[in-house]
Amino acid sequence: MAYSESVLRAAEARLAAERQQHDEQNRRRIAEIYAAQPRLREIDSALRKTSARVMAACFRKGEDTQTALEQLKRENLALQQERAWILDSNEISPDDLADTPICTACGGTGYVGAVMCGCLRELCRQEQKKELSSILGGKERFEHFRLDVYPDAVDPALGVSPRTLMQCILQSAQHYARTFSPASGSILMLGATGLGKTYLSACIARTVADRGFSVAYESAIRVFADFEAEKFGNRGEEASDPTRRYFACDLLILDDLGTEMTTQFTVSALYQIVNTRMLEHKAAIISTNLPAAELERRYGAQTASRLLGSYELYQFRGNDIRMMQK
């Protein structure tokens, strides 16, 4: 799951801070126990030296090694028994003296080998959720999607009412989000301004992100601006992060395609995004106010054929719900 650099940095910083706090709590707790029971400190210090004493006995000249080892074994056992008695008498758990890491799987580093540990992945999920909330506003939920604002009268061109159509789209979107995998397939949302495309895509983004998948949610204007900054600007690595995540994330949501100033560069960038993610079997959701015929005119036959032929189409119909909700 390829999270953005900003999400990953924030999650790693949180893990480092939590690890430091955890280690400090361990040190403080152990120091308090040793202060109250000085004999425990002496015993633990002696037990830690056992290996060195064994090695010394093995290499010491002029002594019976076996006899020396047997003596060490008896002393070690006696220390362990005394330690157990002190702990039991003072109702101290052996775990209280263990300097255990914050995560036993990765030791608090966030990685097991080259693989991200579950502890860091959970922090990434939380940080991504905060990032999405700052972008979206925090209120987008499937249960808040209002079907009653769509006309209930049958549209002769559809054969059903816009409300019935939107109910089917809502159910499909819920199923998509709740069963999402990176190979779930892609969605193209078509329809006029104010029909709920952005809201529904945000609902999908939240649900998918809450399930631990990496989601990149941006407007078309922002996405193409990032590509332009990478190619023509002087931001270097700073600019390459957002463009990388558009290809690496589990789900890319590109909102309001068509609102950007269309140039040969943006046409090429869109084709690169759509084609690359399709070849790598990665999901995308694209919303646009443009009719299907306009997609080909603006972005060319190659891109339009991929969008209209390989993406599941959500055709939004109805009246501008933003005007109706005022």
Number of independent structural domains in the chain = 2
What are phi and psi for residue 254, nearest 5 degrees?
-110, 110
Q: How many CA atoms within 13 Å lie on the side-chain side of 53? A: 14
Report d(CA 25, CA 197) in Å as an integer: 49
Residues 182 and 80 in one domain: no
Last residue of a domain, one of 95, 112, 129: 112
Least confident of 82-96, 127-141, 214-228, 307-321: 127-141
Cβ–Cβ contacts within 10 Å for residue 150, how many?
21
Residue at 228 is within a domain: yes
For residue 226, is pLDDT > 80? yes
CA 72, 77, 82, 88 dihedral sign is positive
CA 88, 92, 95, 99 dihedral sign is negative
Residues 76 and 172 in one domain: no
Report d(CA 278, CA 143) in Å as an integer: 31
Residue at 131 is within a domain: no
Residues 108 and 191 in one domain: no
Residues 179 and 221 in one domain: yes
Residues 281 and 182: beta-carbon distance below 8 Å? yes
Residues 194 and 305 in one domain: yes
Residues 208 and 251: beta-carbon distance below 8 Å? yes
The pair of structure tokens assigned to 138 is 């925090």
For residue 239, is pLDDT > 50? no
In this predicted model, which residue has the larger pLDDT, 90 or 326?
90
Calculate what percentage of the chain has a pLDDT beyond 90. 63
For residue 236, is pLDDT > 60? no
Residue at 318 is within a domain: yes
Listed in order, strand segments (DSSP E) in 23-117 are: 111-112, 115-116
Residues 161 and 107 in one domain: no
Cα 314 to Cα 58, 124, 285, 318, distances in angstroms: 78, 30, 10, 13
Mean pLDDT of 60-74: 75
Residues 208 and 278 in one domain: yes
Instruction: Please state whether beta strands 115-116 and 111-112 pair in parallel, antiparallel, or not at all (unpaired).
Output: antiparallel
* pLDDT for residue 173: 96
Residue 263: which CATH number?
Answer: 3.40.50.300
Residue at 120 is within a domain: no
Report d(CA 145, CA 223) in Å as an integer: 26
Q: In 65-93, which positions are buried (b, 16+ CB within 10 angstroms) versus exposed (e)?
A: eeebeeeeeeeeeebeeebeeebeeeebe
In this predicted model, which residue has the larger pLDDT, 240 or 195?
195
Last residue of a domain, one of 112, 130, 149: 112
Task: Look over the chain and give the mean of its residue pLDDT values, rounded to a whole number.
Answer: 88
Residues 287 and 257: beta-carbon distance below 8 Å? yes
Q: Which of 180, 238, 174 is nearest to 214 (CA)?
A: 180
Report d(CA 221, CA 46) in Å as an integer: 67
* 315 Cβ contact partners less than 8 Å away, ≥ 6 residues apart: 165, 190, 191
* pLDDT for residue 217: 92
Instruction: Please state whether beta strands 111-112 and 312-315 pair in parallel, antiparallel, or not at all (unpaired).
Output: unpaired
* 3 state DSSP class of 93: coil
pTM score, whole prediction: 0.75
Report d(CA 326, CA 312) in Å as an integer: 32
Q: Which domain holds residue 93?
A: 5-112
Report d(CA 23, CA 138) in Å as an integer: 35
What tens digit of pLDDT does each residue of 139-177 get? Answer: 778 998 989 999 999 988 888 999 999 999 999 999 999
